[in-house]
Every structure is written in structure tokens, then in C-alpha cells.
Chain A
């Protein structure tokens, strides 16, 4: 269980995280979404006691991180896969972590095995690790203390499709074991496949905290209509607009309708005698839902979101 209460972080006059109050519950995967610069990483760093909150508090299992004696048994976290000494081997990196929390060194081999890093890869110096191997090493470090709470910042960055699927399954099984899984990602499609619950922030503010199905359901469903008869289509568009739907003409032969169901559009087309070649409802993806949610709070306008912000 992660508890955020009025968590706030200001850098000078910039508010990075703005009075965030959220409970991240055990037994499910909670996705943490937000555009670049929304404050995701800052929030995670405050949970780990790395950044000091300007106000409010972040608690893990009811306690502040800085008060934890052997924190790797309480919280595992992957923050930055690049954060390994260029000359130190992955195994030595994990051994140092294990020592610090009184974890037996055989556990290092166990987690290396779990994340699929073999002996040769684990012996390589940090600078030679690919981003994907770095992610696996970071996940191994998070699992080291077998903690009930796990946080991952953009864990699938740099992983190949196999690796992405592996991370997805890992999170699922960790959540099924009753752990709290808090994972940030800019890949909405990934969240759609992995997360049970979504916490969405924009400009440091909480925009949504609800089951993933509700986020999607709340957003618009669009109906696509294609017809070989532009005139008939125009008539259909006029009737739909009159009925309060919003209609966009993709080209002469295609309309995108929102605010009306496929059934309603089909009935109307039948009534007008318009021949249709396609009538399809497009359930909004999480991507669309996310865009709608964060439309007003995108830090860097002018392009689609991507990349993890610091």
C-alpha cells in the first residue's frame, strides 16, 4: 500500500507535483500515466525519500521511506536503468545492494535468473549493458528483497517485444501474489494490457484515479460510416448533425460520427435509403482516453507524448 496525502513538490515557482492524494492498493497493477513533465518521476522519487516533498507526505505501508531500516524488504523500485557505475558488473551492483539490507548473496543469483540475465551478462561492466539489459538488472534489484510494494518507472523502455511481454506477465503475477504494483509508462497501449487501475496526472495534478475500464468507457466512442454515394452520405450527415451528433467528413465517402451509436446511424441510413459499405463502432483506446483527459495539461505542446521525463 502506497499512501499519498497532499503530496506537493515545488521547484522554485514551478509546481511539479500539486497536492496529490491517492491510495495505491495491493493486489493489482496501478498504472501511472501523464504527459512529459507531469510529475510522475518526481512523485516516485518522493515516495522513495530521494526528493523532499515541499508539503504533504508519501507513506509506504504507513511509514515514511526515510524511516525504513531495511527498505529493500518493504519497497523495490526501478527508477533509472542507466544508473549503474560504468565499470561495475551487474552482479557486483546487486551484491552491494544485497549486503546493505542483509540479504543473502544467493538471492542475487535467484533474481538474475528471474530476469533472464545469465552469468556472462551479469559479469559485464555497466557501460556495456544495453538499455534492455539495464532494465532487467534494475528489475532484478527491485525484486532482491522480495518486497510487498514494487515501483517501476518506464520498465519496458528499451525492451524487445519478448521482453515487453515478459514484464507484463511479471507484473501480473506479482500483483496476483497480493503485492502493490505501481508502474509508470508513456505507452498507453501497454497500460491497457497491464494495468487494473489508472492514476492519471497532468501538470502535477490528479486527473483520474479509477479502474481502467471506467477511464476508457468515459471517453467517446466513434462510428465510422463509408458509402459509395457522397450525396447520400451528405444527407445522412445533415440528419445526424440535426439530431445533435458531431460529424466529421474524412473524405467524400467516409464520415466519423461521435455522439450517436452505430445502431442509430444504421437505422437512419436505412430510413434515408443510403447504401453503406461500412458501419463500424470504434471503442476508444486508452490512448484516446488519455489524450482527452490530459488535453488541457500537456506541458510541451506541439507533438504526441513520448519518452519518460526526468
Chain B
């Protein structure tokens, strides 16, 4: 093994040790589970209700468990992205960023190691959340739900992929902005507020712009849309945002005094 690979592995192992040795990581994961369980349960109740209430116009017919999962992610993501966010902003608040950069002076290597760990952890958590959400949504939907195995698994993997990329996006932005509150505000704006405001008037050109935003692109990817662009483009757009955030974070770490 060359020095370069082993130091890269070392940096990743260090980041995993840091993330797993603080309780907030596990509380965040637990909070994610609870929010996912609550959202999936509630959305499944709504779906079943729409079919059984007195108003026939809102009947949705049979919905897939996967679609309930995907809708649940809209809220759950804000808990999960805290993992990526805290992995860097906690270093700025506690001053450990100096220790981290003393151990690994290459800013790019530090961020890549953090991205690998945050991405892997949020992906694994995403799989778990998807599984738990499916287990709750399925019985609640009852006769109004369907869960073809291959599709559901595909949706769970897509949810995990989406959460991993959002986690990395949060990490990169956190490295650039340093403050957890500021980063969360910018993320809320980027993922929700700005694209929603753009879509509100339903003007074609504004919708087109909104489609480029990470949350919307990720939504198209999750839903398996073919319009306005194929599913893969949605995934690449989201990945592009995550990569751009990492580059921004690296530039900030390189330029600024720690």
C-alpha cells in the first residue's frame, strides 16, 4: 500500500472515529428514525384516507410504499443532513479543526475523508430509514398500498443515495460557511424556499430554473421522472451540487486561517 493510499485511509478512519465517538451522532440517527416513522405513518394514513373519505374527487387509488417513502424524505432530510453539517461545524465551534489540520494538513484530503464518512453514514442510515418507513407504511396503507419488492428496494436505495448526497452537500457548505445556523439557513433556502418561490407563479422559465436546484433535481431523481429531464440527470445535478459545495469548502479551508 502506498503512503498516499494509507494516509487517505488513515484520514477516513480518523473521521469515522470522530463522528462515532460523539453521542449527538447517534441521537441524530435516532431522531431521523423517529421523524421517518412519523412521516411515513402519517402520509400513509392520508393516502388511505383519501380513498375512503366521502369525497370521491381526491381518490388516489392504490399507492406504492416507495412513493410514501419518497414524500417522507422531504422532512426527514433536514434531520439526516445534520450529520454532514455537524461533522465540520462542530470542529469550528470546539476548535478541534486546528488539531484536524495539524494531523492532515491537506485541506482537500480532510474534506474528502469527511465526505466519505458522512456520505457512507447517511447512505447506511438512509437504507435503515427506508426499511423502517416501508415497514410502517405498508400495514397502514392496507388494501390501498402496494409494495412490489424490486421497486420498493429500488426506492429505498434511491432514498439512501439522495440522503448521502444531501449530507455531503451540507458538509461542503458547512466547511465554507463555518456556522451551523448559517449553513442550515442556506440549505433550507436552497432545498426548499427558493425553488418553491420560483415554482409558485408557474411561469415556464422560472420552473426551468427551479428544476436545477438540488432538492428539486433530487426529487425528480427519486420520483423516477422522465420530465423535465431523465432520472439520471436529476441524480447528476444533485451530485454536481454536492461536488461544488465540497470544492467551495476546500477553497475556504485553504484560504482562511484556521
Contacts and interface: CB of A to CB of B under 8 A. Distances in A.
Interface in B1-47: 3-4, 6-7, 10-11, 13-15, 17-18, 21-24
A77 interface: yes
B258 interface: yes
A201 to B, nearest CB: 19
B101 A87 contact: no
Interface string A83-104: 1111111001101110111100
A229 interface: no
Interface string B215-258: 00000000000000000000000000000000000000001011
Contacts of A70: 3, 7
Interface in A101-151: 101-102, 126, 141
A11 to B, nearest CB: 9
Interface string A26-48: 00000000000000000001001
B142 interface: no
A82 interface: yes
Interface string B56-89: 0000000000000000000000000000000000
Contacts of B10: 99-102
Interface string B130-174: 000000000000000000000000000000000000000000000
Interface stretch (B90-98, B120-128, B192-200): B90-98
A138 B100 CA distance: 13
B52 interface: no
Interface string B105-130: 11000000000000000000000000
A75 B102 CA distance: 9
Interface residues of A, number: 37
Nearest to A91: B21
A96 B18 contact: yes
Interface residues of B, number: 32
A196 interface: no
A5 interface: no
Given A70-B7, A88-B18, A80 B98 contact: yes
Interface stretch (A61-69, A158-166, A271-279, A292-300): A61-69
B103 A50 contact: no
B99 interface: yes
Contacts of A79: 98, 102
Given A87-B23, A88-B21, A95-B17, A66 B7 contact: no
B104 interface: yes
B90 A71 contact: no
B257 to A, nearest CB: 4
A278 to B, nearest CB: 52
A83 B21 contact: no
Contacts, number: 99
Contacts of B6: 102
Nearest to B11: A100
A63 to B, nearest CB: 11
Contact of A48 (B15, B90, B95, B102): B102
Contacts of A168: none
Contacts of A100: 7, 10-11, 13-14, 100, 103-104
B98 A85 contact: no
A6 interface: no
A51 interface: yes
A99 B14 contact: yes
Contacts of B106: 66
A51 B257 CA distance: 4
A84 B21 contact: no
A49 interface: yes
A70 B3 CA distance: 9
Contacts of B100: 100
B18 A50 contact: no
A72 interface: yes
B17 A99 contact: yes
A97 B22 contact: no
A71 B7 CA distance: 11
Interface of A: 45, 48-52, 65-72, 75, 77, 79-80, 82-89, 92-93, 95-97, 99-102, 126, 141
11 contacts: A48-B101, A50-B102, A69-B7, A84-B94, A87-B24, A95-B17, A96-B18, A99-B11, A99-B17, A100-B14, A101-B103
Given A95-B21, A97-B103, A100-B14, 7 more contacts: A68-B105, A88-B18, A96-B14, A99-B10, A99-B17, A100-B10, A100-B104
